[in-house]
Structure 1
Amino acid sequence: MTDNNSLSRRRFLQATGGAASAVAIAGCTGNDGSDGSDGGSGNQSGNNSGGGNANRDMKEGYLQLTNSSIETLDPVANTGTAGGTVIVNTYDSLMMYPDGEAAVEQLLASEYESSDDNTTYTFTLKDATFHNGNDVTAQDFVYSFERLAASDNSRRTYFILDSLGVAHETKTVTQDGEETEVYKPGTLAVEAVDEKTLEITLEKPFHASLEMLAYASFAAVPEGIVGDVEGHDGEMEYNKFANNPVGCGPYQFESWEKGTAVEVSKFDDYHGTAAKNEGVHWQIIEDTQALYNWGQNKNADVIGIPSSEYSADKISVDEEDDLGREIGTYGPMRNGDTANYMSIPEISVYYVGFNMEAVPKPVRQAFAHAMNQQTMVEEVFKSRGEPAYHFTPPSIYPGGAKEYASHAEGSYPYGYNTSQLDKARQVMEDAGYGPDNMYEIQWTQYESTTWEDMAKILRDQLQSAHINMSIEKAPFSTLLKRGRNGNMEVYTLGWIADWPAPDNFLQLLNPPQTDTSKAAPTSYINWSSESGAAAQQATDAWSTISNNLGPTDQAGNARSEAYVKMEEANWEDVGFIPVYHSLGERFWYDWLDLAPHGGMGAERQKYHEAELSERK
């Protein structure tokens, strides 16, 4: 399949060494910053495997951060948190999650109002300027949202047409010999009432409309900047635009050397508070040991601490704020310094996923029986998170964390906080496997020693259950492409919230959206009635969710029941095995004054309020 259209609103995340440190796509999970990428989970890609030169030239006044490899800097094409952390600092949307906190606030919108039936939103825009000097107008948003819906480069079409549900018309086309309904370009119910007034009409109420509009895919770009939608020839060739972003955020783009570094500089005409620093330099580092060395050599202001180098005994917590963030110090580190420290439970999940068409159910069940989430979190991930038994994180699970724990402990069918190798072996023998008939399977993961440690534990355990598992590591972008093409059997990724509600996570379990023969699936598990008996249960539950998206108590109760049904359907058919919910951590040197981030992840944070003093 190709990945140029999108039904996807994925943020697939893969861990990069730290337990809570993960890489994501804006659509896979995101980086919590514990690996030092601080703001982009995305893949940690690393051409800088040598650990860094402590005497390298640093631009005066620039924040020195690290990041993962980036596919694109086009807001509608990006699906990774590595690109997302750059995009959120160069582009602005109507709304935002301030410092990655879950409470949405206005950004380019100076005010807004909604209709009595919650289907029409009217936004008044602030006075703002794009990096090319053009004023930001409502017509720019009309164009930007049309790109999101209609551009062949968009991987987030699903966000605007299905998740947010902006009213639109469809047309019938033939794809793969079948007739299907697709968006009819130019029919999106987004109107520029005047230069500073934007009106958006939804097909039906959506409980997270404002939260959705905070996502970077909804960022403003100058009208006609590229010619990938009808009626616009384009001021720039698409590849130039995707590699040279033009937004209205606090930083303007300077350079991007793929696989090496990205740099942005202070935008003096920013509509908000002008940056208190001169810019941001992200060094792209994939290898977790190199990432650690980079920070210890003081090449980064925010320090990556992979789990192999991490010790909870070095944490001293001085305070806990009203959001549950623990703030204190970490150290001494290898270089003798003590770092500042913060942590917060992220709204995220890391998981093992199966191509259900390729991997029989008994094999998937054997993996689930073998997995001891608690042991993995404690021994492999150094307790930098909590065991996961649902795809939905505890803080947004129906009924909250207490109900999450009660349901998991009482109903999880594969052993709560235990490994059941006898049951793993039995389910495989019942399926006809044995010592002379071993099942061969390939595990694909991001280049992370931590995830590899977990994979090796599972590999060794599964030998006794008649499964031979080989382990392959791949760059994050390669892993995603293989997934979209259905070319993986079992893999590891993660997800951090696009908006803080279960439907954002459980879309990955909606069987029709997991079909890798279609453009831009939300996940790569190929769940259907042919691959799992509970597929229809999940499909029906998702239908209930989709028909009850309004902000009323009645709709919320209907969604909550359906959320649990989807979780239980996944338990039955084992498309995903949830492993852990990450702890977002950050370690930074004294010379950096940077606000702590919230549970939505460090990649949501803008850095213009960060201040630097003299590095030591």
Structure 2
Amino acid sequence: MTDRNNVSRRRFLQATGGTAAAVAIAGCTGGNNEGEGNGTGDGTQETTTTSGNESTTTEGGDSGGDSGGNSNMLQLANSTMTTLDPVAATDTASGRVIQQIFNSLMNYPNGETSVENQLAESYETSNDNKTYTFTLREGVTFHNGDELTAQDFVYSFERLAGSPNSKRSYFILDSLGVTHETEDDGEGGQTYSAGTLGVEAVDDMTIEMTLEKAFHSTLEMLAYTSFAAIPQGAVGETPADEMGSGGNPTQAYNEFATSAPVGTGPYEFSTWEQGTEAEVTAYSDYYGEVKNGGVHWQIIEDSQALYNYGQNKNSDIVSIPSSQYDPSKISIENEDDSGRKFGTYGPMRNGTTANYFSTPLLLTYYVGFNMEKVEKPVRQAFAYVMNQQTMVEQVFKGRGAPAYHLTPPPVYPNGNYKQHAEESYPYGYNQSQVDQARQVMEEAGYGPDNMYEVQWTQYDSTTWEEMAKILRDQLQAAHIKMNIEKAPFSTLLQRGGNGNLEAYTLGWIADWPEADNFLQLINPPQTDTSQADAISYLNWSSDNGDAAQQATDAWETVSNNLAPTDSAAQARNEAYVQMEEANWEDVGFLNVYHGIGERFWYDWLDIEPYGGMGGSRQMYNNATVGDRQ
């Protein structure tokens, strides 16, 4: 990361406890208003959050009823959007709309954790798993009528890597590792050299992509809308043409990003009024099926207003903020093999019982520590007093699962999450151990007349503040004085990047469904905030953690075994566990809970459930709307 204010590289989740806000950088969201009633944050695909609502993720509510009189149009809600450009979006709100307009080579169907072909008809890989050859689906047209060709993907990928507007260049250059050359950036560093990307149009319908080294999640990365196809030359002949002489985006770019996006998705752009509404309509020449007339999102930031819209039946999907949420109203009728639960919720305030669905998400909320500023015994004392199960049940109203690993259960090595935690977690599984916290502090020389003082910084969230107060009271008995402060989310991230936090709350949503996407956050060399590309704020080194070298060595094993082979996967899995245990030892992250996604909807809406990658990855073309009551 070259810009400490550019949180698109970090994907930290703003942990509001009521949901992920409206954004998800590839990793970071907060209190999201998609209307999916997600108790912990619906993570979704892009990331940074600035809203701060104590709400569940939510797709609900349009104050005006049917948009344009079209009763066949889904009525949802969204938070404040920033762009319609797939390579520039770092927030969940924008990502939801982009998901409907643009298609990529691959796709997470309904936000599930396995991918399928989308614009790719088929693909082949080389024996060394470094070269991928994709054959495109025939008969696909952009919303402007142009036929999709391989040259469009070459152009789109070059934009992702080299556009001055791209916030996701690291996806293709670093995470995926497509071959490319670099050049001096004039400031002592290196930057991408335009036109050197290892992506070639073999013919009009065939693309060849070459990686620096094999990567196990190549297809999963290509499912991101950052890799979506746009027409060749749509915003300039080359990415450099997107900027004018004054260093500002050109008019052509601004139009594409705000009022004239062109993709190949099931919906074409209709309107976007900043802070008010957005709308897409069914694309008549879409290669697949579109079962409704479009989607209208009302932009609603206030969680209570969003709840009221849903209760007034102006939205097809209802948001239930934590302040209104009553777990006793949930009735579960069945559960599938992936842990998704189906049933009803109600009666609600308006007397109606809604359909209910929940699913585990690839999402972890945690308390992080700047290990240079907070001594190890203090970090361990936090871990001893924390009872994750109690916090989930009492503070977050059961809208999550207790977290003992950074890696969420669906992608934990060998499905061994619970057994490893029950047998090996050193600070008390589902219990608070205040006596042990006091003992570790007294052994470090602290006592009633020599209290250790620590600063807790969080985003403005009543649920997280409630948890902080519980911890504060418990830590008092362990000779720790914890001061609580709240800061705007952007300020929290900036201070973290500058190394100016002590204890703080954040979270992470998956970029790709594998443990290494989470555990990269605790690779000690990448946590040094004195470096511009720090991926987290731990400052973990052997100077402040006995297990730092264990984590560093384990990550090196992961990095040397990235191929999509069984032997490489086995080596990675062993290293993943070593990293989790190293984090237990030194307590860089104190994991609190894993998010679940929830959805509450009326009977007139027929919509498929989503999976662990989150509701914002779901396309709505198969949803149908009946007579609203």
Q: Check whether TM > 0.5.
A: yes
Residues 329/10 of structure 1: CA separation in 2 closer, same or farther (3 Å cut): same
Structure 1, residues 71-119: CA drift from partner, whole Å, max 9, x if none? 4443233333333222212221110010011221111112212222222
- Partners of 2:42 and 2:406 lie apart in 1 by 24
Contact kept, 8 Å, 1:125 with 1:137, in 2: the verdict is yes
- Partners of 2:197 and 2:341 lie apart in 1 by 44
Contact kept, 8 Å, 2:20 with 2:43, in 1: the verdict is no
Determine if the alignment matches structure 1 residue 372 to structure 2 residue 387: yes
Structure 2 counterpart of 1:307, from 313, 322, 325? 322
The residue aligned with 1:117 is 128
The residue aligned with 1:156 is 168
Contact kept, 8 Å, 1:149 with 1:156, in 2: the verdict is yes
The residue aligned with 2:150 is 138
The residue aligned with 2:289 is 273
The residue aligned with 2:114 is 103
Which amino acid letter does the alignment assign opposite residue 305 of structure 1? I
Residues 271/38 of structure 1: CA separation in 2 closer, same or farther (3 Å cut): farther
- Partners of 2:373 and 2:213 lie apart in 1 by 38
- Partners of 2:364 and 2:221 lie apart in 1 by 19
Contact kept, 8 Å, 1:261 with 1:283, in 2: the verdict is yes
- Partners of 1:236 and 1:520 lie apart in 2 by 31
Secondary structure of 1:405 counterpart: helix
Structure 1 counterpart of 2:562, from 549, 569, 573? 549
The residue aligned with 2:246 is none
The residue aligned with 1:586 is 599
Contact kept, 8 Å, 2:214 with 2:562, in 1: the verdict is yes
Contact kept, 8 Å, 2:61 with 2:315, in 1: the verdict is no
Name the stretch that deviates more: 445-454 or 342-351.
445-454
Contact kept, 8 Å, 1:250 with 1:272, in 2: the verdict is yes
Name the stretch that deviates more: 319-328 or 494-503.
319-328
Residues 577/99 of structure 1: CA separation in 2 closer, same or farther (3 Å cut): same
The residue aligned with 2:247 is none
- Partners of 1:282 and 1:444 lie apart in 2 by 32
Contact kept, 8 Å, 1:16 with 1:448, in 2: the verdict is yes
- Partners of 1:44 and 1:284 lie apart in 2 by 13
- Partners of 1:152 and 1:471 lie apart in 2 by 39
Secondary structure of 1:191 counterpart: strand
State the TM-score, normalizing by the size of structure 1.
Answer: 0.89
Correspondences of 1:500-515 after superposition (within 5 Å):
500-515=513-528
- Partners of 2:140 and 2:428 lie apart in 1 by 55
The residue aligned with 2:86 is 75
- Partners of 2:183 and 2:62 lie apart in 1 by 58
Name the stretch that deviates more: 179-188 or 584-593.
179-188
The residue aligned with 2:196 is 187
Residues 199/17 of structure 1: CA separation in 2 closer, same or farther (3 Å cut): same
Structure 1, residues 396-429: CA drift from partner, whole Å, max 9, x if none? 21120xx222221222222221112223333344
- Partners of 1:292 and 1:440 lie apart in 2 by 40
Determine if the alignment matches structure 1 residue 209 to structure 2 residue 218: yes
- Partners of 1:485 and 1:229 lie apart in 2 by 34
Secondary structure of 2:413 counterpart: coil
What is the CA distance between 1:509 and its match in structure 2? Answer: 1.6
Contact kept, 8 Å, 2:44 with 2:616, in 1: the verdict is yes
- Partners of 2:278 and 2:493 lie apart in 1 by 21
Structure 1, residues 556-576: CA drift from partner, whole Å, max 9, x if none? 111111111111121122221
The residue aligned with 1:246 is 262
- Partners of 2:38 and 2:304 lie apart in 1 by 10
Contact kept, 8 Å, 1:67 with 1:284, in 2: the verdict is yes
The residue aligned with 2:408 is 393
- Partners of 1:72 and 1:231 lie apart in 2 by 19
What is the CA distance between 1:145 and its match in structure 2? Answer: 1.7
- Partners of 1:237 and 1:439 lie apart in 2 by 57
The residue aligned with 2:503 is 490
What is the CA distance between 1:203 and its match in structure 2? Answer: 1.9
- Partners of 1:443 and 1:201 lie apart in 2 by 45
The residue aligned with 1:451 is 464
What is the CA distance between 1:450 and its match in structure 2? Answer: 2.3
The residue aligned with 1:199 is 208
What is the CA distance between 1:250 and its match in structure 2? Answer: 2.1
- Partners of 1:312 and 1:247 lie apart in 2 by 41
State the TM-score, normalizing by the size of structure 2.
Answer: 0.87
Residues 483/185 of structure 1: CA separation in 2 closer, same or farther (3 Å cut): farther
- Partners of 2:147 and 2:278 lie apart in 1 by 26
Which amino acid letter does the alignment assign opposite residue 421 of structure 1? V
The residue aligned with 2:342 is 327
Contact kept, 8 Å, 1:7 with 1:159, in 2: the verdict is no
Structure 1, residues 252-272: CA drift from partner, whole Å, max 9, x if none? 334444444433333333332
The residue aligned with 2:98 is 87
Structure 1, residues 165-205: CA drift from partner, whole Å, max 9, x if none? 21223345565xxx555433322111111222111111222
- Partners of 1:514 and 1:227 lie apart in 2 by 37
What is the CA distance between 1:15 and its match in structure 2? Answer: 4.0
Correspondences of 1:462-481 after superposition (within 5 Å):
462-481=475-494
Structure 1, residues 362-392: CA drift from partner, whole Å, max 9, x if none? 3322222221111111211222222111111
- Partners of 2:221 and 2:79 lie apart in 1 by 25
Which amino acid letter does the alignment assign opposite residue 95 of structure 2? G
Secondary structure of 1:579 counterpart: strand
Correspondences of 1:411-450 after superposition (within 5 Å):
411-450=424-463
- Partners of 1:584 and 1:35 lie apart in 2 by 4
- Partners of 2:501 and 2:118 lie apart in 1 by 40
Secondary structure of 2:593 counterpart: strand
Which amino acid letter does the alignment assign opposite residue 392 of structure 2? V
What is the CA distance between 1:480 and its match in structure 2? Answer: 4.0
Residues 533/107 of structure 1: CA separation in 2 closer, same or farther (3 Å cut): same
Which amino acid letter does the alignment assign opposite residue 354 of structure 1? F
Structure 1, residues 515-554: CA drift from partner, whole Å, max 9, x if none? 4444454333333344434333222211211111112121
Residues 427/599 of structure 1: CA separation in 2 closer, same or farther (3 Å cut): same
Structure 1, residues 227-285: CA drift from partner, whole Å, max 9, x if none? 59656457745555443443322223344444444333333333322351332314232
What is the CA distance between 1:478 and its match in structure 2? Answer: 4.8
Secondary structure of 2:318 counterpart: coil
Residues 592/207 of structure 1: CA separation in 2 closer, same or farther (3 Å cut): same
What is the CA distance between 1:334 and its match in structure 2? Answer: 1.6
- Partners of 2:37 and 2:517 lie apart in 1 by 23
Secondary structure of 2:297 counterpart: strand
Structure 1, residues 446-477: CA drift from partner, whole Å, max 9, x if none? 44332222222122222333333343444545
Secondary structure of 2:367 counterpart: strand
- Partners of 2:54 and 2:441 lie apart in 1 by 43
Determine if the alignment matches structure 1 residue 355 to structure 2 residue 370: yes
Name the stretch that deviates more: 448-457 or 99-108.
448-457
Residues 322/502 of structure 1: CA separation in 2 closer, same or farther (3 Å cut): same
Structure 2 counterpart of 1:340, from 352, 355, 358? 355
Correspondences of 1:53-64 after superposition (within 5 Å):
56=64, 58-59=66-67, 60-61=70-71, 62-64=73-75
Structure 2 residue ranges without an equivalent (≥5) = 244-249
Which amino acid letter does the alignment assign opposite residue 599 of structure 1? G
What is the CA distance between 1:5 and its match in structure 2? Answer: 9.9
Which amino acid letter does the alignment assign opposite residue 534 of structure 1? A
Secondary structure of 1:24 counterpart: coil
Residues 212/47 of structure 1: CA separation in 2 closer, same or farther (3 Å cut): closer
Contact kept, 8 Å, 1:545 with 1:559, in 2: the verdict is yes
Name the stretch that deviates more: 56-65 or 298-307.
56-65
